[in-house]
Amino acid sequence: MRSADVCITGRCPRRQPWPAALWLCFALASACSFSPPPAEPAPAATYQAADPQPPLRPGDMIRIRIWREPDFSGDFAVEQTGIVVLPRLGPLNVTSISPESLETRLIRNYREYLSHSSIDVVFLRQVEIVGAVQKPGAYHVDPKATLADALAMAGGTTPDGRPDEVEIIRDGKTLPGTISGRTTISHSPVQSGDQLYVPMKSWVSRNPGAVLAAGITAVSTLTYVLVH
Protein backbone atom coordinates (compact mmCIF):
# COMPACT_ATOMS: atom_id res chain seq x y z
CA MET A 1 0.00 0.00 0.00
CA ARG A 2 1.30 3.45 -0.85
CA SER A 3 2.04 5.96 1.85
CA ALA A 4 -0.62 8.29 0.41
CA ASP A 5 -3.25 5.56 0.88
CA VAL A 6 -2.18 5.08 4.47
CA CYS A 7 -2.58 8.81 5.22
CA ILE A 8 -6.00 8.87 3.64
CA THR A 9 -7.21 6.11 5.89
CA GLY A 10 -5.96 8.01 8.95
CA ARG A 11 -3.06 5.69 9.63
CA CYS A 12 -0.22 8.08 8.75
CA PRO A 13 3.14 7.00 10.18
CA ARG A 14 4.05 8.99 13.29
CA ARG A 15 6.87 11.53 12.76
CA GLN A 16 9.80 10.75 14.96
CA PRO A 17 10.98 13.62 17.26
CA TRP A 18 14.41 15.11 16.75
CA PRO A 19 17.10 13.53 18.91
CA ALA A 20 17.78 15.48 22.13
CA ALA A 21 21.37 16.14 21.09
CA LEU A 22 20.20 17.73 17.83
CA TRP A 23 17.74 19.94 19.73
CA LEU A 24 20.48 21.04 22.11
CA CYS A 25 22.86 21.89 19.27
CA PHE A 26 20.14 23.93 17.58
CA ALA A 27 19.40 25.79 20.83
CA LEU A 28 23.04 26.60 21.49
CA ALA A 29 23.61 27.74 17.93
CA SER A 30 20.57 30.00 18.10
CA ALA A 31 21.59 31.48 21.44
CA CYS A 32 25.20 32.10 20.44
CA SER A 33 24.25 33.67 17.13
CA PHE A 34 21.75 35.97 18.83
CA SER A 35 22.78 39.58 18.94
CA PRO A 36 20.69 42.27 20.57
CA PRO A 37 19.17 44.87 18.29
CA PRO A 38 21.33 47.94 17.81
CA ALA A 39 20.83 50.41 20.60
CA GLU A 40 18.97 53.53 19.72
CA PRO A 41 21.13 56.64 19.74
CA ALA A 42 21.15 58.19 23.18
CA PRO A 43 19.28 61.47 23.33
CA ALA A 44 21.45 64.53 23.50
CA ALA A 45 22.18 65.66 27.02
CA THR A 46 19.79 68.33 28.10
CA TYR A 47 20.02 70.94 30.78
CA GLN A 48 18.39 74.14 31.79
CA ALA A 49 19.88 77.33 30.44
CA ALA A 50 22.44 78.70 32.83
CA ASP A 51 21.37 81.75 34.80
CA PRO A 52 23.82 84.58 35.46
CA GLN A 53 26.39 83.29 37.91
CA PRO A 54 25.32 84.05 41.50
CA PRO A 55 27.67 85.59 44.09
CA LEU A 56 30.28 83.44 45.76
CA ARG A 57 29.31 81.37 48.76
CA PRO A 58 31.22 80.20 51.84
CA GLY A 59 33.49 77.37 50.82
CA ASP A 60 34.22 78.83 47.39
CA MET A 61 37.68 80.05 46.52
CA ILE A 62 39.27 83.01 44.73
CA ARG A 63 42.37 82.20 42.69
CA ILE A 64 44.60 85.21 42.01
CA ARG A 65 47.62 85.03 39.73
CA ILE A 66 49.73 88.17 39.39
CA TRP A 67 52.74 88.05 37.12
CA ARG A 68 56.01 88.20 39.06
CA GLU A 69 54.16 88.81 42.31
CA PRO A 70 54.10 85.47 44.20
CA ASP A 71 53.33 87.21 47.49
CA PHE A 72 50.04 88.47 46.07
CA SER A 73 49.15 85.26 44.24
CA GLY A 74 47.38 82.18 45.61
CA ASP A 75 44.05 80.50 46.35
CA PHE A 76 41.99 82.25 49.02
CA ALA A 77 38.94 80.58 50.60
CA VAL A 78 35.66 82.34 51.36
CA GLU A 79 34.99 81.91 55.07
CA GLN A 80 31.64 81.01 56.60
CA THR A 81 31.08 84.71 57.32
CA GLY A 82 31.34 85.49 53.60
CA ILE A 83 34.67 87.22 54.15
CA VAL A 84 37.83 86.49 52.18
CA VAL A 85 41.18 87.90 53.25
CA LEU A 86 43.33 88.96 50.29
CA PRO A 87 46.96 90.08 50.28
CA ARG A 88 47.29 93.86 50.43
CA LEU A 89 43.52 94.38 50.16
CA GLY A 90 42.65 92.80 53.49
CA PRO A 91 39.21 91.34 54.40
CA LEU A 92 36.47 91.69 51.84
CA ASN A 93 32.84 90.56 51.86
CA VAL A 94 32.24 88.81 48.53
CA THR A 95 28.82 87.19 49.01
CA SER A 96 26.81 90.27 48.09
CA ILE A 97 28.42 91.17 44.77
CA SER A 98 28.21 89.53 41.37
CA PRO A 99 31.29 87.68 40.11
CA GLU A 100 31.65 90.08 37.18
CA SER A 101 31.63 93.15 39.44
CA LEU A 102 33.93 91.46 41.94
CA GLU A 103 36.51 90.61 39.27
CA THR A 104 36.50 94.19 37.99
CA ARG A 105 36.88 95.53 41.51
CA LEU A 106 39.78 93.26 42.42
CA ILE A 107 41.73 94.02 39.26
CA ARG A 108 41.17 97.76 39.70
CA ASN A 109 42.30 97.67 43.33
CA TYR A 110 45.42 95.66 42.59
CA ARG A 111 46.39 97.91 39.72
CA GLU A 112 46.68 100.77 42.21
CA TYR A 113 49.75 98.97 43.55
CA LEU A 114 50.86 96.96 40.52
CA SER A 115 50.24 99.04 37.44
CA HIS A 116 52.46 97.00 35.12
CA SER A 117 51.49 93.49 36.18
CA SER A 118 49.20 90.97 34.49
CA ILE A 119 46.37 90.09 36.89
CA ASP A 120 44.23 86.98 36.49
CA VAL A 121 41.23 86.33 38.77
CA VAL A 122 39.30 83.03 38.77
CA PHE A 123 36.41 82.08 41.04
CA LEU A 124 36.42 78.40 41.98
CA ARG A 125 33.07 76.90 42.89
CA GLN A 126 32.89 74.24 45.57
CA VAL A 127 30.82 71.25 44.47
CA GLU A 128 30.48 67.68 45.67
CA ILE A 129 31.09 64.94 43.12
CA VAL A 130 29.35 61.69 44.07
CA GLY A 131 28.05 58.48 42.54
CA ALA A 132 30.07 56.25 40.21
CA VAL A 133 33.42 58.04 40.57
CA GLN A 134 36.74 56.83 41.94
CA LYS A 135 37.14 59.47 44.68
CA PRO A 136 33.82 61.02 45.78
CA GLY A 137 34.16 64.24 47.71
CA ALA A 138 34.13 68.04 47.66
CA TYR A 139 36.16 69.82 44.98
CA HIS A 140 36.75 73.35 43.74
CA VAL A 141 36.00 73.58 40.01
CA ASP A 142 36.97 76.26 37.55
CA PRO A 143 33.87 77.56 35.69
CA LYS A 144 35.96 77.58 32.49
CA ALA A 145 36.59 73.85 32.80
CA THR A 146 34.36 71.15 31.36
CA LEU A 147 32.40 68.62 33.35
CA ALA A 148 34.90 65.98 32.21
CA ASP A 149 37.68 68.05 33.83
CA ALA A 150 35.70 68.18 37.06
CA LEU A 151 35.14 64.41 37.05
CA ALA A 152 38.87 63.91 36.45
CA MET A 153 39.52 65.71 39.75
CA ALA A 154 37.50 62.93 41.41
CA GLY A 155 39.68 60.27 39.78
CA GLY A 156 37.32 59.82 36.83
CA THR A 157 34.25 57.62 36.65
CA THR A 158 34.21 53.93 37.48
CA PRO A 159 33.81 51.43 34.60
CA ASP A 160 30.10 51.27 35.44
CA GLY A 161 29.57 55.04 35.46
CA ARG A 162 27.72 57.13 32.87
CA PRO A 163 29.73 60.38 32.54
CA ASP A 164 27.49 61.78 29.80
CA GLU A 165 24.34 61.75 31.91
CA VAL A 166 25.43 63.52 35.09
CA GLU A 167 22.64 64.83 37.31
CA ILE A 168 22.70 68.02 39.36
CA ILE A 169 21.34 67.79 42.90
CA ARG A 170 20.61 71.03 44.73
CA ASP A 171 19.23 71.23 48.25
CA GLY A 172 18.30 67.56 48.09
CA LYS A 173 16.35 67.88 44.81
CA THR A 174 17.46 66.68 41.38
CA LEU A 175 17.27 69.35 38.68
CA PRO A 176 15.55 68.45 35.39
CA GLY A 177 17.80 67.12 32.63
CA THR A 178 21.42 65.99 32.62
CA ILE A 179 24.75 67.39 31.48
CA SER A 180 27.49 65.75 29.43
CA GLY A 181 31.24 65.71 29.88
CA ARG A 182 31.75 68.24 27.10
CA THR A 183 29.66 70.89 28.86
CA THR A 184 31.53 73.84 30.34
CA ILE A 185 30.69 74.47 33.98
CA SER A 186 29.91 78.14 33.28
CA HIS A 187 27.44 77.09 30.56
CA SER A 188 25.56 74.73 32.84
CA PRO A 189 23.25 75.26 35.83
CA VAL A 190 26.00 74.16 38.24
CA GLN A 191 26.27 76.46 41.26
CA SER A 192 28.26 76.50 44.47
CA GLY A 193 27.13 73.79 46.87
CA ASP A 194 25.61 71.56 44.17
CA GLN A 195 26.14 67.83 43.98
CA LEU A 196 27.22 66.30 40.66
CA TYR A 197 25.85 62.77 40.67
CA VAL A 198 27.25 60.23 38.19
CA PRO A 199 24.68 57.43 37.70
CA MET A 200 25.54 53.81 36.99
CA LYS A 201 24.85 51.91 33.80
CA SER A 202 21.86 49.56 33.76
CA TRP A 203 22.32 46.01 35.06
CA VAL A 204 22.00 44.59 31.54
CA SER A 205 24.76 46.90 30.25
CA ARG A 206 27.00 45.96 33.16
CA ASN A 207 26.44 42.18 32.85
CA PRO A 208 26.21 41.19 29.16
CA GLY A 209 27.79 37.80 29.87
CA ALA A 210 25.22 36.97 32.52
CA VAL A 211 22.40 37.91 30.15
CA LEU A 212 23.78 35.62 27.44
CA ALA A 213 24.26 32.76 29.91
CA ALA A 214 20.71 33.17 31.18
CA GLY A 215 19.42 33.10 27.61
CA ILE A 216 21.31 29.88 26.81
CA THR A 217 20.05 28.25 30.01
CA ALA A 218 16.47 29.22 29.28
CA VAL A 219 16.64 27.90 25.72
CA SER A 220 18.28 24.66 26.85
CA THR A 221 15.64 24.14 29.53
CA LEU A 222 12.82 24.72 27.07
CA THR A 223 14.45 22.32 24.60
CA TYR A 224 14.70 19.61 27.23
CA VAL A 225 11.03 20.01 28.14
CA LEU A 226 9.91 19.81 24.50
CA VAL A 227 12.04 16.75 23.76
CA HIS A 228 11.01 14.84 26.88
Q: Return the domain boundaries, the chain.
A: 61-203
> pLDDT above 90 covers what percent of the chain?
62
This prediction has a pTM of: 0.68
**pLDDT the model gives residue 38:** 42
What mean pLDDT do residues 181-206 have? 87
Q: What is the C-alpha to C-alpha distance for residues 5 and 28, in angstroms, rounded to an integer?
A: 39
The model's pLDDT over 2-39, given as tens digits with 9 standing for 90+, comes to 444 444 444 555 554 445 444 444 444 454 444 444 44
What mean pLDDT do residues 105-119 have? 90
The model's pLDDT over 45-65, given as tens digits with 9 standing for 90+, comes to 444 444 578 899 999 999 999
Q: What is the C-alpha to C-alpha distance for residues 224 and 22, in angstroms, rounded to an integer?
A: 11
Q: How far does the chain reach from its first CA to its final CA, in angstroms?
A: 33
**pLDDT the model gives residue 64:** 97
**pLDDT the model gives residue 227:** 61
Using the predicted structure, report yes or no on whether residue 173 has a pLDDT greater than 90: yes
> pLDDT above 70 covers what percent of the chain?
66
Class of the domain covering 61-203: alpha beta
Q: What is the C-alpha to C-alpha distance for residues 212 and 29, in angstroms, rounded to an integer?
A: 12
Q: Which residues pair with 122 in a beta bridge?
A: 63
